[in-house]
Amino acid sequence: MHPMLNIAVKAARRAGQIINRASLDLDLVQVAKKQHNDFVTEVDKAAESAIIETLRTAYPDHAILAEESGESVNESEYQWIIDPLDGTTNFIHGFQYYCVSIALVHKGIVTQAVVYDPTRNDLFTASRGRGAFLNDRRIRVGRRDRLADGLIGTGFPFREKDGLASYCDLFAEMTNACAGLRRPGAAALDLANVAAGRMDGFFEQGLNPWDVAAGALLVTEAGGLIGNYTGDSDFLHEGEIVAGNPKIYAQMVPILSKYTRVNKAA
Which of Ca ion, ligand IPD, none has residue 185 at its interface (CB below 5 to 8 Å by kind)? ligand IPD
Asked if 206 touches ligand IPD (CB under 6 A), the answer is yes
Of residues 157, 93, 116, 124, the one with CA closest to residue 14: 116
Cα separation, 106 vs 87, whole angstroms: 26
Q: What residues between 13 and 72 interact with ligand IPD by CB under 6 A?
A: none
Asked if 200 touches ligand IPD (CB under 6 A), the answer is no
Round to the nearest angstrom and report the end-to-end CA distance of the chain.
42
Taking the complex as a whole, the smallest distance from the CB of residue 210 to Ca ion amounts, in Å, to 6
Site track 169-188 with ligand IPD (rule: CB under 6 A), x = hit: ----------------xxx-
CA angle 97, 12, 234 (to 5 degrees): 75
Of residues 241, 249, 194, the one with CA closest to residue 222: 194
Asked if 88 touches ligand IPD (CB under 6 A), the answer is yes
Q: For the chain, what's the residue count? A: 266
Please, are residues 215 and 186 in contact by the beta-carbon 8 Å criterion? no
Taking the complex as a whole, the smallest distance from the CB of residue 178 to Ca ion amounts, in Å, to 24
Q: Which of 52, 100, 174, 207 touches ligand IPD by CB under 6 A?
A: 207
Q: Which of 52, 55, 68, 87 touches ligand IPD by CB under 6 A?
A: 87
Residues of the shown chain interacting with Ca ion in the complex, contacts defined by CB under 5 A:
67, 83, 85-86, 211
Taking the complex as a whole, the smallest distance from the CB of residue 195 to Ca ion amounts, in Å, to 17
Q: Which of 48, 68, 83, 238 touches ligand IPD by CB under 6 A?
A: 83
The smaller minimum CB distance to Ca ion, of residues 55 and 85, is found at 85
Cα separation, 67 vs 81, whole angstroms: 8
Q: CB within 8 A of 188, min separation 6: which ones?
A: 83, 86, 99, 101, 115, 211, 212, 214, 215
Cα separation, 90 vs 171, whole angstroms: 21
Residues that bind ligand IPD in the complex, under the rule CB under 6 A = 83, 86-88, 155, 185-187, 204, 206-207, 211
